[in-house]
Amino acid sequence: MSSIQIIGIDGGATKVSAWEVEHSGNTFSLGQAHYAGQYVNDNFFNSGFLPVNIQKQLAEMNDNTVQLTSSEKDQGEAMVQTFANVIQHIHSGKPVLLGIGMPGLKTNDKRGIVAMANGPRIPHFCDQLEEEISQMNITLAAPIFQLGSDADYCGIGEEYASSGAFKECQFGYYLGGGTGAADALKCKGEILPLDQTKSWLAKSWEMKTKEGLSLERFASAGGIQFIYSLKSGISVEKLNREAIYPNQILERAIAGENTAIETLKDVSQTLAKLLYERIETLFAGWQSPFSFVNPSRAPLESSHPYLGNVFDKLIIGQRLGTLMEESKQSIYLWHPFLSYLEMLISSNNKLDFHTKNHYLKNGIEKMVYISQLRDAPALGAGVDAFHQFNVS
């Protein structure tokens, strides 16, 4: 495989991050070559782009009648061009094997996007990208297999990285917070995509608090900023202009600002409730602690194949993990989160003594692991491309 270059790409809402992926046996790591590109740097990218109403997108997807608007076509081309540019920046000259993670609902062949809440639909994404990089005289080792889920790729990255948090773990849950929230699950030693658990386990973005906010708001960088905006009355646009992100909100809390303190208190408690729900659902099945963002979502079943089991690790990653790590030196976020999670487990009547002991005997902080693998989705994308290439 030294004759080809593996590139894993994490396509986000605002930027594209590409890494060369190296491997030794069945262990993978990020190489030296890395480049990130902002969509806004493409001359044809429209910063004021307004996506088609999501309900209309879903209806057209279900009816197989996707009709792209001219602004969607232009925006999609600008985004594809950004992908091509980051690939060109780290291309070594060897034939390239591409793995790509992207948000949005995919086409049946998984090579395009047919619904995306905050962006354009790009149903022929892979065809367009393959054409762009061909014009750059970059050879592909194989056609792009699929656009994967960034959440699934977080799990794969944590499984195959040399220091991955899922290694040597039979049951693990991963919550990554970046632009959005990414959930990954490992059961009986196997990575289990949450698309396969939707009858008994919901994704974090699907569930909402009693105030009507998606749990994703409390796990993602943009979501935490949104909550601070609600409490402070400062628009998100102004917060962005003044570079006030979660790390700065933490600094404001440490400085004694009440709005920041209240924001982080809500985040701490809601994240504790989310991880507590994962613990309870794995052991005893869904107990309806949250309602759903989509009221017509099928109810979750309380039975599943893994009842009675416990997690070896509860993992927090990406920007949320970095924020949690930084908060350890203060009285905010990390320590209140652990205390609240411990209280929830202690008072639960669905968990037996042995299960509570498993989580609490040595301190709940021993069970919660902060991942250092910030670019898990890009690594996972490269690993997936490698495995698909070897299968084919």
| pLDDT tens digit sequence for 260-276 | 999 999 999 999 999 99
Q: CB count, 10 Å around CB of 281?
A: 23
In a domain, 59, yes or no: yes
- Same domain, residue pair 383 and 368: no
Q: Within this chain, do residues 266 and 349 fall inside the same structural domain, yes or no? A: yes
Q: Is the pLDDT assigned to residue 75 strictly greater than 90? A: yes
Any domain includes 159? no
Q: Are residues 173 and 28 in the same domain?
A: no
Q: Does 160 reside within a domain?
A: no
Q: Are residues 305 and 172 in the same domain?
A: yes
Cα–Cα distance measured from residue 213 to residue 263, given in angstroms and rounded to the nearest whole number: 13
Residues 118 and 225 both lie in one domain: no
Does 96 map to a domain? yes
For residue 36, what is the domain's CATH number? 3.30.420.40
Banded pLDDT at 116 (limits 50, 70, 90)? confident
pLDDT 10s digits, 295-316: 888 999 999 999 999 999 999 9
* Count of CA atoms in the C-beta half-sphere (13 A) of 206: 17
Q: Is the pTM of this model over 0.75?
A: yes
User: Is residue 146 pLDDT above 60, yes or no?
Assistant: yes
**27, 134: one domain:** yes
pLDDT above 70 for 383: yes
pLDDT digits (tens, 9 = 90+) for 210-249: 999 999 999 998 899 999 999 999 999 999 999 999 999 9
- 33, part of any domain: yes
The mean pLDDT value for 128-156 works out to 95
- Report the pLDDT averaged over residues 148-167: 91
Same domain? For 130 and 209 the reply is no
Q: Are residues 271 and 357 in the same domain?
A: yes
Predicted confidence (pLDDT) at residue 250 exceeds the cutoff of 80:
yes
Q: CA angle at residue 137 from 136 to 139, to 5 degrees?
A: 120
Please indicate, yes or no, whether residues 381 and 368 belong to a single structural domain of this protein.
Answer: no
Same domain, 381 and 367: no
Q: Percent of the chain scored above 70 by pLDDT?
A: 99
Domain assignment present for residue 310? The answer is: yes
- If you count them, how many residues does the chain have? 392
Domains contained in the chain, number = 2
Could you list the residue range(s) of the whole structural domain that residue 343 is in?
165-372
CA 173 distance to own-chain centroid:
13
Do residues 58 and 42 lie in contact, with contact meaning Cβ atoms separated by under 8 Å?
Answer: no
Q: Are residues 141 and 9 in the same domain?
A: yes
Q: What would the two tokens of residue 294 be?
A: 């989509």
Q: Which pLDDT value is given to residue 392?
A: 61
- 145 and 174 both lie in a single domain: no
Asked, for residue 157, whether it belongs to a domain, the answer is no
Q: 37 pairs with which residues across the strands?
A: 16
pLDDT at 360: 96
- Phi first, then psi: give them for residue 176, nearest 5 degrees: -105, 135
| Residue 156 within a domain | no
